Structure 1
Amino acid sequence: MALAVLALALAAGLTGALPFAGQSDGDALVESVRDRYESAETYTAEVTVNATDGTATETRNLSVAHAAPNSSRLTLEDEGGDVVYGTNGTVAWVYDEANDTARVYPLNGSASNATDHPARNGTAWNSTDAGNDTHPANLSTYLEENVSATVVGSETVRGAGTTVVRLEPENESREGTTTLWVDDDDRVHRLRTTRGENVTTVEFRDQHFNASIHESTFRPPTDAAVTVAVTERYDSFDAAQAGTDVELRSLDGDYEFVEAATVTRGGATVTTQQYTETGTNATVALAATADSLPYDAENGTSVTVDGADATYVERDEGGAVFWTEDGLTRGVAADVSREELVELAEDVRS
C-alpha cells in the first residue's frame, strides 16, 4: 500500500512513523487520508525532509514509488551518487550509484518488502538495526494507537489550499505532536513532527495515485555489477548457532536476545545478533565471521578489549569495536560511547 512507502520515506528521512488514529473532530479527515493512501494501487512522490535538533539541521531529498501488492522503491538523493532501495516481492536490493553496484537479497517468502530486509540497511553488519521506533516496519504500532486529532486551521502550501490537523498521542509514553497539511483530495502536502527541540518537516510534491508504473522500476539496474546475498534469519540463539559453523557469543546480564541473521554475499558470511537492554530498549548488535567485517581498520582507533588488541570505528551516533580471535573476527556495534562499547566487547570476549 502507498502508506507503507510514505512511512519508508519518513524513516529514511530521520523522522517518526505516522500515527493515523483518533477520536476528535479531526477523525473523519484523518481516516480519509489513511484510506486514500492505503487503497492506492500505485503511488509516486518526490519528498524533501528537513530535520533539526535546535542546533544542527539536515535536509534529504527522496523519491518514492509503490505498486501493490509488495513492490517498492526509494531513492535517497546524494551529490556523491544516489542510493536506491527496492523490492519486487521476490528480491530486495540496494543500488549504490557511486560504485555502480547492486546487492540483491532473495526474499524466499520471508519478507514482503524491502522495509524488513537487510537491503533496507545496506550491510550485513547493521541488518538487525530495524528494531528502532523510526523504522517503517513499526508503523502498525503507531496506527493502532489512539491520538487526539484536531483541526487547527487552514493554510496554502505551494499554491494548494490545505486543512491543518494536529495529532497528539493519548498514550502518555509517546512524546510530541504531529501536524498534517491535507488538501481537499486527502493528499498530505506537509507533515511535521515536534518533540521538544527536535522538529522534522516533510514536504510531499508531485504525488500521483494509481498511475501506470513499469515493473522494471522495482528491479535492480541491469547494467550494474550485481552481488547476490543469501540471508537466513533466526528467532533464538540456539537456532542461530545451529545455522553456522562459527562459534557465536552471547550478551548476557541486562540484555535480551531479539533475533539473528546470517548473510552470505560475495563468498563472505557474517552472522549478526540483535540484543536489547531491559528497561531502555537500547539495541546492541554482535557480529562474527571467519572472513572480515565491513570496516577499515586504518580509519579506526586502537583500543584494548580484555587484554587483546581491538579497533574502534565511529559510525552514526555510536560506533563499533571489532577484534580477531582464533581466526574469527568479532564485533560489537551500538549507539553508545567508545568506553561503553569497550565494556560491552569485554563482556562478549570474556
Structure 2
Amino acid sequence: MSPRLNGRRGLVLLLVAAVAVAGSAAVTGAFATFQQPTGDEVLDGVEQRYESADSITSTATVTVENESASTTATVELAADDENRTRMVVERNGETVRAGSNGTVAWYVGPNRSAAWSVDSLEGEAGEQWTGAEGEYGETSERLAPDGTPALNASNASATVVGTPTVDDTSTYEVELTHPEADGSTTLWVAQDDYRVVRAVATDGTNRTVVAVESTVFDVSIHDSTFDPPTDRVALTTVDRYDSFDAAQSATDLSLPTLDASFTEATVTVRQGETIVGQRYVDDGANVTLLSTTADDRLDRLTENATERTADGRTVHVTTDEDRAIAVWQNDGVTTAVVVEGSSDRAVEVAGEL
C-alpha cells in the first residue's frame, strides 16, 4: 500500500476519532446548520403541506396590541380541497361566522347577516353596498381607497433565524421582511410537518400574535359545516347589465339617469331589499349612482354630512380623500351620487339627475 493511501486513511481515522471523542455539541450543531433549510425552503414546505391536505381544521388565539390597547379573539378555521371554508371568531362575548360551501358565501354577525352566490362575486370586487359595520362599501371602485400599492412579493426575504422549541415542538423560526413595508413577520414552523405553530407581525404601530393551539390535516369534515345557517341568512343575488335599459327592466325602482357615457350596472337583492349601482364616465371621470330601498342606509351615509341644495332638493354631502358623495331620500328610496372630485361636483351631478 502506498504511503499516499495510508496518509488518506490516517486522515479519515483521525477525523472519525475526533468526532467520537468530542461527542461535541459544537460539531453536531455545525452539521445541523449545514443541513438546515433556507427560509424560502421552509416557506415552500409550509405551502406544500397546507395545499396538499384534503382538509384542515385549526384553532388559534389572536391578540392585537399597541401602546394603548389590546384585544384578543379566538379563531376556528375549517377548509377542504373543494374550496369550502368556515371561520368562527369569538371576541368580547360576540361571535362572527363566515364561510362558503362552494356555491354560497355567507356571513353571520351579531347585528347583520347575508349570503351571496359565489358566481355573483366573480369579477371586480365589491359591487354591493356592504361593510363590516354595515356602511356602504364599494361599487366597481372603492369608495375610500387607502392608496396603498400592492407589494411585489419577489422583493420579500425569508431568513431562518433560529430553531427554538415552542410548546414542545421543534420549530424553524423564519423572519419575513419587505423593503417597502414597515415592520416584519416572524413564523415558527414545525420541523416535522411544516405546520405553523405561531406567528408575530408588526407594522410599526400594532403587534399581532397568532398562537396556533391545534392544527389537524386530512380530517373528516361534515358537509353541513360549510352551509349557511338558513334560519338567519337570506341569499343575496347580484346581476350585471351592460345597458341602462336592461338594468331598469330588472328592477321596479325608477332609476335616475345621467347625461354621460353609461358603463355598467349591478342589481343586488338582499333580504328583500334592492340595491342598484350604475357606473358612468363623465368628462373622463367616474360617476356612480346608487339607489336602494333599504331604509337604514341614509343615516349611515350622512354621518358628519353637510346639508346642501341641489335642484331644489336637500342632499347630504360628505367627502373622503379624492371622492365626494351626495345622498338624498324620496318616497322610500335612497339615492347617492359618488364622484371623483369635490363636494361641489357631487352637488352639481345630483342636480343634473
**TM-score in terms of structure 1 length:** 0.64
Q: Structure 2 vs 1, CA of residues 268 and 196 (structure 1 numbering), >3 Å: closer, same or farther?
A: same
Q: Which residue of 1 aligns with 2:334?
A: 329
Rounded to whole Å, the distance in 2 between the matches of 1:274 and 1:76 is 35
Q: Which amino acid aligns with 2:89?
A: L
Gaps of 5+ in 2: 1-36, 249-253, 281-286, 319-323
Q: Does 1:57 align with 2:58?
A: no
Displacement of 1:65 after TM fit?
A: 1.0
| Partner SS, residue 49 of structure 2 | helix
Q: Which residue of 2 aligns with 1:221?
A: 229
Q: Does 1:162 align with 2:155?
A: no
Q: Which residue of 2 aligns with 1:198?
A: 206
Rounded to whole Å, the distance in 2 between the matches of 1:344 and 1:286 is 14
Rounded to whole Å, the distance in 1 between the matches of 2:129 and 2:88 is 13
Q: 1:323, 1:329 within 8 Å by CA — same for their partners in 2? A: yes
| Partner SS, residue 224 of structure 2 | helix
Q: Which residue of 2 aligns with 1:349?
A: 350
Q: Does 1:189 align with 2:190?
A: no
Rounded to whole Å, the distance in 1 between the matches of 2:325 and 2:277 is 13
Q: Structure 2 vs 1, CA of residues 63 and 342 (structure 1 numbering), >3 Å: closer, same or farther?
A: farther
| Partner SS, residue 82 of structure 1 | strand
Q: Residue 247 of structure 2 is aligned with which of 243, 246, 268? A: 243
1:1-350 to structure 2, matched below 5 A, reads 25-96=38-109, 98=110, 102-107=113-118, 109-111=119-121, 121=131, 125-126=136-137, 145-169=154-178, 172-184=179-191, 185-222=193-230, 224-233=231-240, 239=243, 242-244=246-248, 246-247=255-256, 261-272=266-277, 287-294=290-297, 296=299, 300=303, 303-306=306-309, 309-310=314-315, 322-324=327-329, 328-331=333-336, 345-346=346-347, 349-350=350-351
Q: Which amino acid aligns with 2:108?
A: Y
Rounded to whole Å, the distance in 1 between the matches of 2:153 and 2:80 is 24
Query: Percent of aligned positions with the same letter in both sequences?
Result: 31
Q: Which amino acid aligns with 1:287?
A: L
Q: Which amino acid aligns with 1:168?
A: T
Q: Structure 2 vs 1, CA of residues 61 and 176 (structure 1 numbering), >3 Å: closer, same or farther?
A: same
Displacement of 1:155 after TM fit?
A: 3.0
Higher relative contact order at CA 8 Å, sep ≥6: structure 1 or structure 2?
Answer: 1
Q: Which amino acid aligns with 2:247?
A: G
Q: Which amino acid aligns with 1:303?
A: T
Gaps of 5+ in 1: 1-23, 135-140, 276-283, 314-318, 335-339
Q: Which amino acid aligns with 1:28?
A: E
Q: Structure 2 vs 1, CA of residues 232 and 155 (structure 1 numbering), >3 Å: closer, same or farther?
A: farther
How many residues are treated as equivalent by the alignment?
291
Displacement of 1:29 after TM fit?
A: 0.8
Displacement of 1:260 after TM fit?
A: 6.3
Q: Structure 2 vs 1, CA of residues 182 and 301 (structure 1 numbering), >3 Å: closer, same or farther?
A: same
Q: Structure 2 vs 1, CA of residues 342 and 104 (structure 1 numbering), >3 Å: closer, same or farther?
A: same
Deviations 1:323-349 (A, max 9, x none): 225864134799xxxxx9966754653
Q: CA RMSD in A?
A: 4.6
Rounded to whole Å, the distance in 2 between the matches of 1:190 and 1:179 is 8
Q: 2:129, 2:275 within 8 Å by CA — same for their partners in 1? A: no
| Partner SS, residue 164 of structure 2 | strand
Q: Structure 2 vs 1, CA of residues 52 and 262 (structure 1 numbering), >3 Å: closer, same or farther?
A: farther
Rounded to whole Å, the distance in 1 between the matches of 2:259 and 2:196 is 45
Displacement of 1:248 after TM fit?
A: 5.9
Displacement of 1:80 after TM fit?
A: 4.9
Displacement of 1:160 after TM fit?
A: 2.5
Displacement of 1:156 after TM fit?
A: 3.2
Q: Structure 2 vs 1, CA of residues 291 and 299 (structure 1 numbering), >3 Å: closer, same or farther?
A: closer
Deviations 1:199-247 (A, max 9, x none): 322222211111000000001124x24422211246xxx6578424522
Deviations 1:160-184 (A, max 9, x none): 2322111122xx4444322111111
| Partner SS, residue 33 of structure 1 | helix
